[in-house]
């Protein structure tokens, strides 16, 4: 784990050497990763839009024939939540309201009544033995989670800290739907606040992602932390490649 964190920090040093970036490059990089992150995060949850189709929906406002309406709404919502990441990244704190707003922006087109609000029902997650907390526990669990954020940030490498935020949010599972996407948005907020590029989990790694995440529910965080470090490393390499290209 230490080796890959060193590699990530080495790439970050090279990226930082290019700063400050001109406004054109900032815009180009942000839009490039907007499409990649929106496509991949939605695809991990079963969204049928391809990366090219996601780009068409977001940038051109054109619907894709034969694709579900919900898939289009998820693309548009995630794109809005992505913009919020960069506004929130100007500050170093993360509040409960920030987490709710990330979910709200992603989800309000799909279910306005549930967007940004904690679930009132029990949920069952298929493909795992993990049982999320009862709905009445969620407000206190979220307050405890957010209260520990400054301590988690101070004790861990930024990449590990981002993985911890992801893991803790999906463990609480506060929303009726969209918890995985909210967790990945939150993870990337932490990375941006620390000056790292956003991390994209390719859909091809879905099994590894879910397998390592399931291990965290059984008390083993190492595999998930290493997995997140791996995708951070690859995303950082891609960011540097674009800068140097």
Phi-psi region of 174 (alpha: psi -120 to 50; beta: other; left: phi over 0): alpha
Phi-psi region of 178 (alpha: psi -120 to 50; beta: other; left: phi over 0): left
Residue whose tokens read 């898939």: 71
Task: Decide: 8 and 232 in contact? Cβ < 8 Å.
Answer: yes
Residues 6+ apart with CB under 8 A from 139: 118
> Is residue 73 classed exposed, middle or buried when 0-12, 13-18 and 19+ CB atoms within 10 A define those classes?
middle
CA 135, CA 121: separation in Å to the nearest integer?
A: 6
Residues 6+ apart with CB under 8 A from 195: 12, 16, 158
Residue whose tokens read 């690859």: 234
CA-atom Rg of the chain in angstroms: 17
Q: Has 156 been annotated as catalytic?
A: no
Q: Which of 72, 78, 166, 173 is catalytic?
A: 173
Catalytic residue positions, numbered? 173
């Amino acid at each position: 784990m230490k080796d890959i964190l060193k590699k990530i920090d080495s790439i970050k040093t090279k990226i930082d050497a290019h700063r400050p970036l001109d406004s054109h490059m900032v815009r180009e990089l942000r839009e490039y990763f907007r499409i990649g992150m929106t496509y991949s995060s939605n695809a991990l949850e079963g969204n049928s839009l391809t990366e090219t189709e996601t780009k068409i929906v977001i940038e051109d406002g054109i619907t894709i024939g034969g694709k579900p309406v919900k898939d289009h709404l998820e693309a548009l919502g995630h794109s809005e939540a992505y913009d919020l990441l960069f506004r929130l990244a100007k500050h170093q704190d993360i509040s409960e309201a920030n987490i709710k707003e990330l979910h709200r922006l992603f989800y309000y087109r799909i279910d306005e009544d549930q967007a940004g609000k904690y679930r009132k029902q029990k949920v069952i997650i298929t493909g795992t033995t993990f049982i999320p907390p009862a709905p009445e526990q969620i407000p206190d669990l979220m307050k405890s989670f957010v209260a520990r954020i400054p301590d988690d940030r101070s004790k861990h490498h930024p990449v590990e800290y981002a993985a911890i935020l992801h893991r803790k949010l999906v463990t609480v599972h506060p929303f009726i739907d969209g918890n995985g996407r909210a967790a990945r948005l939150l993870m990337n907020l932490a990375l941006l606040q620390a000056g790292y590029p956003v991390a994209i989990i390719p859909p091809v790694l879905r099994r590894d992602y879910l397998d390592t995440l399931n291990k965290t529910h059984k008390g083993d965080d190492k595999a998930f932390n290493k997995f997140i470090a791996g995708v951070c490393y690859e995303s950082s390499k891609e960011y540097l490649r674009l800068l140097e290209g």
